[in-house]
Amino acid sequence: MSGVGGSADRSLPPLVDPVSELSAEERARYSRHLLLGAIGDEGQRRLRAASVFVVGAGGLGAPVLMYLAAAGVGRITVVDDDEVDLGNLHRQVIHSVAAVGRPKVDSARDRLAELAPEVRVDAVHARLDALNIGSLLEGHHLVIDGSDNFATRYLVSDACEIAGIPLIWGTIDRFRAQLAVFWSRPPAPAEAVTLRDLYPAPPPAGSVPSCAEAGVVGALCGTVGSMMAMEAVKLVTGAGRPLLGRLVLMDLLESTNRTVTVRPDPSREPVTELPDGAGDVSCELPDPGLPEVPTVSATDLAAELAASGPTGSPGRPDAPAPVLVDVRGAGERSIARIDPSVWVPLDSVAEVAGDPTGVLGRAAERGPLVVYCKSGVRSARAAATLSAAGFPGVRSLAGGIEAWTRDVDPSLPGY
């Protein structure tokens, strides 16, 4: 990334050849597009001929899908392996309360059928991996990535680089967002730029909180998703100047927006193949530099808590109850928590551990520490820190509070 600035305005040729003509109904429906010189009749016919692959039917995918369908894109494929949850609805506006528990792709397909029944929508309820992504991308003109985890973003980017398909990419975090277009084989004289030119590798696990951990304002999803849909319209029709080679950085809380130039890294080795096997596309990637720490399952921890007491159960005075340490953020803890537990946010664990009279030192006097977070990644980092600081027998709750909610206490709300 070269820094703030830009290059000479440069449009790209249309990505898609147009269909021969529009129907009378389509002319009426898209009349406002036909009035635009940059789109017009020919551009609308290109949209009608376009096939767009959308990754995710969540926060970004919701507005992307609705505006693509409303724009008259002929074929949309949406892939997502998740189901609609009540906590999705403040930002995933394509879904409704009635859709809670349904696959997101099915809910999205039904909503798009109401909005634009002439648009073909292929709903794929599956997890993208290195084995299926290549065949799923076949026949599509471009990809829009609305996924919420680094593993999927890099998988999609690498697959698009190999296939030479343009990729519209966006990420959101609380009130901030990033947006760009990547393309490994754009028409000359445009330079090829991919996600790995901007960010060569995913960040270490736990270093960047997910939306489920940090939160996100719903209106941000609408803003960024609409911009991603607009980038698709520009690429398909040849209108305007797409964001290829540029990165938009926005902060809705501060009402700021700036664009920086992204250039290819000449030292980077091109991606030519995906790793064998399905790969890990979980929301948090394992950290290869993190020492292995002992873990305990939710059901085993519940059994230990039931069988032990603060001073040991009858006949087992040497078996004090485990003491739980919550290393999540304050917002997460306000939604759901395992009681009783000590709260020490991850970024303060090392400092608190250095004080033998602090809350962690006092907690360790009562029993062995079991650290938990949302899914088990941050708790593993915290457990490693505590073990290195001399705390004995520290374990991490495998699967975090998600596993506890699923296997022990379903009454806790998910997030």
Q: What is the pLDDT of residues 41-51, one digit of tens each?
A: 999 999 999 99
Model pLDDT, residue 289: 56
Mean pLDDT to the nearest integer, 389-414: 94
Pick from 34-38, 238-242, 315-319: least confident = 315-319
Cis? peptide before 314, omega within 30° of 0: no
Spatial neighbors of 358 by CB under 8 A, at least 6 apart, are 352
Token code pair at residue 213: 């951990």
Give the Cα separation of 395 and 182 in Å (integer): 42
Q: Are 80 and 172 in contact (CB under 8 A)?
A: no
The one-letter amino acid at 378? R
- DSSP, collapsed to helix, strand or coil, labels residue 53 as strand
Instruction: Report pLDDT digits (tens) over 49-92.
Output: 999 999 999 999 999 999 999 999 999 999 999 999 998 999 99
Instruction: Report pLDDT digits (tens) over 244-258.
Output: 999 999 999 999 999
Neighbours of 218 (CB within 10 A): 14
Model pLDDT, residue 356: 84
Q: Are 353 and 317 in contact (CB under 8 A)?
A: no
Model pLDDT, residue 285: 46
Token code pair at residue 233: 């319209």
Mean pLDDT to the nearest integer, 262-268: 93
Give the Cα separation of 145 and 158 in Å (integer): 12
Mean pLDDT value across the chain:
90
The one-letter amino acid at 275? P
Percent of the chain with pLDDT over 70: 89
Pick from 85-99, 214-228, 265-279, 346-360: least confident = 265-279
Q: Is it the case that residue 138 has pLDDT exceeding 80?
A: yes
Interstrand relation of 3-4 and 75-79 (parallel, antiparallel or unpaired): unpaired
Give the Cα separation of 333 and 344 in Å (integer): 11
Model pLDDT, residue 24: 95
Instruction: Report pLDDT digits (tens) over 274-320.
Output: 976 444 444 344 455 566 899 999 999 999 999 875 444 444 455 68
Q: Token match 């084989």: residue?
A: 185
The DSSP code sequence of 194-254 is -HHHHSSSPPPTTSS--HHHH-B-HHHHHHHHHHHHHHHHHHHHT-S---BTEEEEEETTT
The one-letter amino acid at 62? A
Mean pLDDT to the nearest integer, 254-265: 95
Model pLDDT, residue 145: 98
DSSP code of 85?
-
Pick from 29-43, 265-279, 354-368, 397-411: least confident = 265-279
Give the Cα separation of 179 and 151 in Å (integer): 18
Longest dimension (CA), the chain: 84
Token code pair at residue 8: 């000479």
163: exposed, middle or buried (Cβ count in 10 Å: 0-12, 13-18, 19+): middle
Percent of the chain with pLDDT over 90: 79
Interstrand relation of 176-182 and 167-173 (parallel, antiparallel or unpaired): antiparallel
Active site residues: 211, 373
- CA atoms in the 13 A half-sphere facing the CB of 269: 4
Neighbours of 73 (CB within 10 A): 28
Q: Is it the case that residue 7 has pLDDT exceeding 90?
A: no
Q: Is it the case that residue 379 has pLDDT exceeding 90?
A: yes
DSSP code of 320?
B
Work out the pLDDT band at 207, boundaries 50, 70, 90: low
**What percent of the chain is helix, strand and coil (3-state, nearest 5)?**
35, 20, 45
Give the Cα separation of 231 and 244 in Å (integer): 10
Work out the pLDDT band at 414, boundaries 50, 70, 90: confident
Spatial neighbors of 224 by CB under 8 A, at least 6 apart, are 60, 63, 170, 172, 177, 179, 250
265: exposed, middle or buried (Cβ count in 10 Å: 0-12, 13-18, 19+): middle
Model pLDDT, residue 43: 97
Pick from 18-32, 124-138, 317-331, 369-383: least confident = 317-331
Mean pLDDT to the nearest integer, 372-376: 94
- Report which of residues 368 and 329 the model is more confident about: 368
Residue count of the chain:
415
Token code pair at residue 107: 């809910």
- CA atoms in the 13 A half-sphere facing the CB of 362: 8
